[in-house]
Every structure is written in C-alpha cells, then in structure tokens.
Structure 1
Amino acid sequence: MQNPSTIDIERVRNFLLDLQARICTALEQQEIIGGGHEKFIIDDWERPEGGGGRSRVLQNGEVIEKGGVMFSHINIRQLPASATARHPEIAGAKAQALGLSLVIHPKNPNVPTSHANIRLFVAEPEGKDPIWWFGGGFDLTPFYPNDEDIKHWHQNAFDLCQPFGDEVYKEHKQWCDDYFYLKHRDEQRGVGGLFFDDLNRWGFEKCFEYMQAVGNGYLDAMLPIFERNREKPYTQAQRDFQLYRRGRYVEFNLVYDRGTIFGLQTGGRIESILVSLPNLVSWSYRPEWNENSIEKRLTDYYLKPRDWLSEL
C-alpha cells in the first residue's frame, strides 16, 4: 500500500511552475535569435470545481508559429470514465491532477514539432489511503527529418533514463511508439521518444526524480535541434507539406490523446485543452509524392518504429 505521508504535492507544483518559466524563457530566446519579438502571454485561470492553472502561449512568431506551455493543478469531485476504465478501484473518487504540458509548432518546416508532458495524479477513494502515480514523456514530429536530430533526441532520452535502470529507455520508448500511433492511418505520429504512465513502483522520491529528469530533458533535447534548423531556407512546397502533415497531429490529438479526452470529460478549460492545435493546418484529398522524394521517405521510413540509436 502506498504511504500517503510521502506525497509532496507542493514540491511537485513548485517544480512544474519553475520548469514552465525556464522553458518559456529558452524558447523566447529562440524567437529573439531568429529575429522575432513575440513573447509568451501569461493567462492565469481558476476552475469552478477547484484549482486552476497558468497558461503561457506564444503565437505568430518568426520562429514559433504556435506554442503553448500549460500548467494546471485541478481538483476533481468525481473521476470520469477516461481515468477509471484503467483503474476501476478509484471509480467515483475525488482526485487532484497537476502537470505541465507543451506543444511547440515551429514556423520553419525544417524544425520538428515537439511535445512534452509531465504530471502527478492523486486519487482519494473514500475511506482509503490516497493512490498516486506519475506520468509523462516527450516526442518529436519532424516534417523534413535528419538523422542527426533523431539520434540526438533519442540519445538524450536514453541518457536520462540510465540512472533509473537499464530497461527504462527501452520500455518507455516502446510505450511511446505504441501510444503515438494513428491506427486509422497506420502510421506513427512522429519518431517517438519516451512515454510513461501509472508510475509509482519506485516510491515517491525516485518517481519524482524521474519525472524531473524527463521534464528537464525536453530542453536538453530540443534546443540543439532549433539551433541546427532554425535558419534553414524552405520553399512554399515544403511549407504546404508541413501544413498537410500537421493534419495528422490534429487527428491524433482529437481522436486518441488521453489528455484531451480526460480534459473534455472533466469539464476542463477548453482553451487549455485545445491549445495544442496549430493555427494553420490543411487537409488534401489523396495527395501523391514522388517515389524518391523526401516527403515519401518520411512516411515510408521515418514514421515507422525503429531502434534509432542502433540504426543511425
């Protein structure tokens, strides 16, 4: 049984707010270097049921077309089906959920879209000790991928996992590949990364340390990719392909994403739930790409689960 005295929600909250500020500062610096001047607006909000959050959003930048870095800490009076389907023992319980979620849609098609999420969930079944777990991860969605970026992304993930066990990277990479899969398209959303949920097996302190490592690891992984690709020239055709591929991102978030479904089922703040969607996106009917094109290689090679650290 979990020891309720070990749950330090305030320390997790403080880390998440600090990480949010650090990520926004680093991404604003990318805007400045790229000749832009847009900054993240800060939007604090409260939830009628209890709790609230801090949304930070940057739009129409020279480097970042749409970016949301969202903190929330909410109280839930009665858990919805999206939570209790996997955990019937907490059906109807009160709960707290706090986390940081971000999606960054760069303007340049050569810079991948990136996503990260870390969270703590604490359920309080009536007459029983609280039940808690951590979750999160990060993943990369390139449009014009290069091997250096992908290997760097996965090497960073591998390195941060190592202190927690030799099997952790392999396990959480596989979980990421399985989760970020568009069944109706039979393709991955991107080139993966890490994904984990229901993590409480190591005790609170070690699980919290891992969540922090994943959260801090996002900037370590993403900033060099911005630096390598931010100034690359691109054509209108490449921009059009980027907008078309963003459609897959929208499809996943609206059809499969558990965070989106959870937010909608708990009556969450709709602007925060849908902030992950890009400002510009397009769909085309049965587009075709040259057999030897990089656009065709994206789906035929890169959007397949691979052992990137051994293949590249």
Structure 2
Amino acid sequence: MPNAILSLSSAPPVSLSFKHRSNLFPLTPLQLNKTLQLPTFRTPPNNGKFSRKPLAAIIEKETAISERPETFLREGEEDPPISSSSSSPSSVRARFERMIREAQDTVCSAIEEVDKGASFKEDVWSRPGGGGGISRVLQDGHVWEKAGVNVSVVYGQMPPDAYRAAKGDASLDPSVKPGPVPFFAAGISSVLHPKNPFAPTLHFNYRYFETDPPKDAVGAPRQWWFGGGTDLTPSYIFEEDVKHFHMAQKQACDKFDPGFYPRFKKWCDDYFYIKHRGERRGLGGIFFDDLCDYDQELLLGFATECAKSVVPAYIPIIERRKDTPFTDQHKAWQQLRRGRYVEFNLVYDRGTTFGLKTGGRIESILVSLPLTARWEYDHNPEEGSEEWKLLDACINPKEWV
C-alpha cells in the first residue's frame, strides 16, 4: 500500500468533501491525498523566492504484518472484537470496519468459487499509530484476468486551515490558531476484470470518513460522511444483464429512499465520463459522495446494503457469460474497451493521477488496471454492429430500469 498525503477539495463550505473517488485503494494514504485537495501556501526557499506547496496531511508509514488482526481500529475504539459473534460493536467506525471486512470475505469467496482454481494473494499491513488494511489480488485465473478486493482503515491529521475552510464555521474564532485536525477513513474497493469479452468488468467502492475537531477549537463539531458506488463496464451489451445489474442497484437504493437510484445513477454517468473521447467508461450503476445530510444510521445501513448487493448483482452475469464462445474479433474489441478503462483511470481518476505524481507505490496505484489492453489508430466500429451498440450506449446513457 502506498504512503499518502492528504489534500482538500474545492467542495462546498458546509463539510469536508470526498469528491469523485473511484480508485481501487481510495482510502490508502496516497489516495486520500487526491480526494481532499488542500489549499496551497507559499513558502520561501533558501534563495528567497516563493514557491507553492500543498498543505499535507500526516499519516504514518505502513508495515507488512503476517496475520490479520481482529481490528485495525485503535485500542478502545471497538468493543467487542470483530471476531466476536455474540454481539455487535457500537461505534460507526467499528461497525463499518466489520461490514467492509465481511464484504471482502464474501466477494473473494464468490470470485474464487466461480474461478474454480485460482486463489487470492493476500497482503496485510498496519501502522504503529493505528490503522491498516488487507489487499487481495487474484491474477491469471481461469475466469478472471485480474481481480482485486481491498479494505483499509486509515488515521491521520490534516492542517487546521483545511478544517476551517471546509467547515465554514463562523463559531471558530479566526484569531484562534487550532491544532491539526485528526481524521479517520475506512473503506472497501474492488475492480474485477474477467477474461471472456462477453463478461463485464465490475468496480465497487464504499467508504466512511470522519474528522475530529481541531484540538484547540473548543466546541467545534465532528464531521462525517459516506461515499461509494458500484458500476458495470461490459464490452458487449446483453440487455438482460444490464437490467439485472441496474435493478439490483435500484432495489438496494429503494429500501432507503426512492430518490437515491435516479440521483446516484446520473451521478455515476457524469463521473465516469472520458472527456477526450466524449463517452462513458461503461454502462454505469450508482455513485455517491459526501453524503452527510441523512441520519448516520440510515447511511450506514445504505452502504451496508449496497455492499451486500454486489455478489447477487454481478455473479449471475458472470455465470451466464464466462464460458460463451468468442472470436479473436471479440477479444480485440474487449482489449480496445480495456484501453478506455486505462485512459479513464490514468487521466481522470484522482487517486491514480495523484499517486503517480507523488511517487507512490506503483503496484498499489495501478492494481485497478487490467493485465492487457489495446489501442488502434482511428478505430471506429461499423454502424449497427454489436460493438457500435455498446459505444452508442456509452455516448448516450440509457435508462435501464
């Protein structure tokens, strides 16, 4: 997992903002940096000239460990242990960690069951001051070209000016210089690339973020929010598959608010847009971020329901398509669409681009990319072909349910 620097985004002043995040390790230190873009400040170097530097968050370096701990939370934050089945932890932090670790186990088991041969390689890491994660990657299996399912729990501190700017709270006396703002982030994120060109790629990501008030800002409130989503990226359209997938997203949303699905479906279409191509990366799903204007328990339940819907929304599609016969032409088109996936992640995904610019651990930054991809000069599918139908749906988003 990469080291990370935290930055603050140009979000509305009502709360800290986790804007548009879709990377595979969205909650690792390096990738936290890109999601919250902190303001820059000017510092004079030795030659007397000023330079602009980002306000950086402080996160301890991770170290590999041999066994999975019961919890990555700091001591005293989680009771009972995650391994206990007798009762549930009480804090949102602890319950969210339990949820994402159970979701990781469920998804990985389903992936291995479908593949019937390959298994996940697991890396476990932790930090001296608390936090850590579990990275699981399956590569070159029978069904899966590459599959990553990862969880992380991160602690750190952001500069006080970032808290003040994001909170927009007049109650914080501007003459007071509060100390650093502690933050907590936990999440699960995954990208699954099948081999068969008729089987779609899946991405999902669910996360929870908290900030404590600055140490010297008496009475300042704690901030929290949820983000995430699940989206489908096929190379060929099977309407029954896409409708099944979107219906699963809608059903998860409707249990909490009938307005969630149309709102988050549009948000997904808008976010996964490849501007230089004028098309979406895939056929969408749901995407949301910075959600804090609902009851916290409702949003925790919503994120949990969305994570639980991943396997029933996706695995039946893979079971239907994984053994479908295909030609070299079909495979070549899949590779071209994988090229679009690479373009989006390297050009627009904020976690990936930030990590590359700041010298992060390359294996973690690029784990969301497929093993293989293809680019052809001036390639245009024949109008009316199956390839053209997919491209048209990526250019003109459709209502599937």
Distance in 2 (CA, whole Å) between partners of 1:62 and 1:205 is 40
Look up the match of 1:66. 146
State how far apart, in whole Å, the 2-side matches of 1:250 and 1:266 are: 19
Q: Indicate if the aligned counterparts of 2:281 and 2:394 stay in contact, CA closer than 8 A.
A: no
Distance 2:221 2:365 in 1: 30
The answer to whether the 8 Å contact 1:176/1:192 transfers is yes
Shift of 1:15: 1.0
What is aligned with 1:141?
A: 233
**1:119 alignment partner AA:** R
Q: 1:293 to 1:210 in 2, by over 3 A?
A: same
Match of 1:113 in 2: 201
Partner of 1:26: 110
Letter in 1 for 2:94: E
Unaligned stretches of 5+ residues in structure 2: 1-13, 16-89, 170-178
Q: Which of the two has higher C-alpha Rg?
A: 2
Structure number with the higher helix fraction is 1
- Counterpart residue type for residue 201 of structure 1: D
Q: Is contact 1:70-1:272 (8 Å) kept? A: no
Residue 14 of structure 1 is matched in structure 2 by 98
Matches within 5 A, 1:74-153: 74-78=154-158, 87=166, 89=168, 93-126=181-214, 127=217, 128-153=220-245
**Cα deviation code 1:21-74 (max 9, x no counterpart):** 110000101101xxxx11011111235785221000000011000000011111
What per-residue deviation string (whole Å, max 9, x for no partner) do you get for residues 71-107 of structure 1? 111122227x9x98x9465996331211000000000
CA shift at 1:261, angstroms?
Answer: 5.0
1:221 to 313, 338, 361: 313
3-state DSSP of counterpart to 1:195: strand
Match of 1:162 among 254, 259, 279: 254
SS in 2 for 1:66: strand
TM score, norm. by length of structure 2: 0.69
Matched, 1:56 2:136: yes
Q: Is the 8 A contact 1:142 1:190 kept in 2?
A: yes
- Closer, same or farther in 2 for the Cα pair 1:246/1:49, shift >3 Å? farther
1:157 is aligned with what amino acid? Q
Structure 1 length-normalised TM: 0.88
Aligned residues: 301
Q: Secondary structure at the match of 1:202?
A: coil
Paired with 1:53 and 1:269, the residues of 2 have a C-alpha distance of: 15
Decide whether aligned partners of structure 1 residues 214 and 292 sit closer, same or farther in structure 2, where only a CA change above 3 A counts.
same
The alpha-carbon deviation at position 220 of structure 1 amounts to 1.3
Instruction: Name the SS of the counterpart of 1:134 in structure 2.
Output: strand
Range that drifts further, 170-179 or 121-130: 121-130
Equivalent-residue separation in structure 1 for 2:236 and 2:270 (angstroms) = 22
Does structure 2 conserve the Cα–Cα contact (< 8 Å) formed by 1:55 and 1:68? yes
SS at match of 2:255: helix
Q: For 1:222 and 1:156, how far apart are their aligned partners in 2?
A: 9
1:49–1:77 contact (8 Å) kept in structure 2: no
Deviation at 1:7, TM superposition (A): 5.1
Match among 203, 207, 212 for residue 295 of structure 2: 203
Describe the shift of the 1:198–1:286 C-alpha distance in structure 2 as closer, same or farther (beyond 3 A): same
Distance in 2 separating the partners of 1:7 and 1:264: 35
8 Å CA contact 1:50, 1:76 repeated in 2: no
* Residue pair 2:280, 2:395 contacting (<8 A) in 1 also: yes
Structure 1: state its 5+ residue gaps.
Answer: none
2:125 matched residue in structure 1: 45
CA distance, structure 1, for counterparts of residue 249 and residue 396 of structure 2: 18
Contact 1:117–1:137 at 8 Å: present in 2 too? yes
Secondary structure of 2:158's partner? Answer: coil
Choose the corresponding residue for 1:291, options 350, 363, 383: 383
Counterpart-to-counterpart distance in 1, 2:318 and 2:232: 12
Q: Is the 8 A contact 1:190 1:303 kept in 2?
A: no
CA–CA separation in structure 1 for the residues paired with 2:238 and 2:337? 16
1:53–1:267: structure 2 CA closer, same or farther, 3 Å change rule? Answer: farther
